Structures are given as C-alpha cells and as structure tokens.
C-alpha cells in the first residue's frame, strides 16, 4: 500500500514529518482491521462449509504466511523499523546485537506489546511515554490483531 504525499517533504518541519509518518501507520492499521474483521469470528469459532466431496465441515480460516518488506513489517506490528534501537519486527533484539544470530531475545507477542501500550497509556508526560516506546521499539498506535478485540 503506497500513500501518496502531495506536498513537498523537504518543506516540512520534523514534527510535520513525524505526524505524516504516524498518519501512514494509522491508515495501514485501519486497512488491516477492515480486511481481517470478517475473519476474526470465523478463525476462532469456525465456519461450516460444504466441501467438494459433498460433506459439510467446520473450517477455521487463517493466514499461513505474511509476505512483507521491512517497511510493511514495521507498519504491520507498529514497531520503529530499521534505524530504531530495537529494529526487529519479531523480537526485542537491540540494534547493537543484531549480529548475534543465536541470541535469545524477548519476543514481540501481541500480549507483550499490548502490555507496553497499556503502560504507556498510564504515563503522565509525553517524555515518559516516548522513553518507554523507544525502549520497546514501538509507536503509540493501536495494532490490528486477530488475537485481540477488533
């Protein structure tokens, strides 16, 4: 998905640039929510379908593979991407430890990242919120998940 920016990016302040980036992440999540909404109930509870052999079966639809480039993966999980302190969309490996292929790092599970966002929601200052978000390589944006309430 490509969002076209009609203004001149070089004329923007850093705050405007960050605001546009947040807008793109927010749009990406809203599109995912719309696309996956119809699958959520069926993926958890099943859906009866008549198969080609004439037998009705309960099927549980799901997505077996996600094919994304690095930018899409960052939008998908709400993380900060390649130049972040924690650039990996799957775990919390620090940028300085990316070379440790066999390292054991905390995973970015929906529950782990939701807990971080809930902690951020309870912070009083923007600085406190930003520190926690950077520490976990996240943006403060609700992320669409088939595992959470849509």
At 99, give phi and psi (nearest 5°): -75, -15
Residue 150 near residue 36, CB atoms below 8 Å = yes
pLDDT along the chain (150 residues), means of 10: 65 77 80 81 88 92 69 69 77 86 86 87 89 84 57
8 within domain boundaries: no
78 within domain boundaries: yes
pLDDT of residue 14: 76
Helix (H, G, I), strand (E, B) or coil at 18: helix
The rounded distance, in Å, linking the Cα atoms of 32 and 60 is: 19
Which DSSP category does 123 fall into? -
Domain enclosing residue 30, as ranges = 14-135
100 within domain boundaries: yes
| pTM exceeds cut of 0.85 | no
7 within domain boundaries: no
Task: Specify the number of domains making up the chain.
Answer: 1
The rounded distance, in Å, linking the Cα atoms of 121 and 72 is: 25
Best CA proximity match to 89, nearest among 98, 76, 100, 101 = 76
124 within domain boundaries: yes
pLDDT of residue 71: 67
């Amino acid at each position: 998905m490509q969002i076209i920016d009609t203004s001149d990016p070089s004329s923007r302040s850093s705050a405007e640039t960050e605001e546009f980036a947040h807008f793109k992440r927010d749009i990406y999540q809203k599109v995912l929510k719309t696309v996956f909404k119809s699958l959520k109930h069926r993926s958890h509870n099943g859906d009866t379908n008549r198969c080609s052999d004439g037998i009705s079966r309960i099927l549980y639809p799901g997505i077996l593979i996600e094919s994304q480039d690095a930018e899409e993966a960052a939008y998908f999980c709400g993380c900060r991407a390649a130049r972040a302190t924690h650039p990996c969309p799957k775990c919390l490996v620090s940028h300085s430890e990316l070379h440790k292929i066999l390292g054991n790092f905390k995973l970015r599970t929906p529950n782990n990242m939701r807990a971080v966002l809930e902690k951020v929601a309870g912070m009083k200052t923007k600085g406190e919120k930003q520190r926690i978000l950077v520490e976990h390589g996240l943006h403060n944006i609700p992320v669409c998940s088939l595992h959470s309430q849509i």
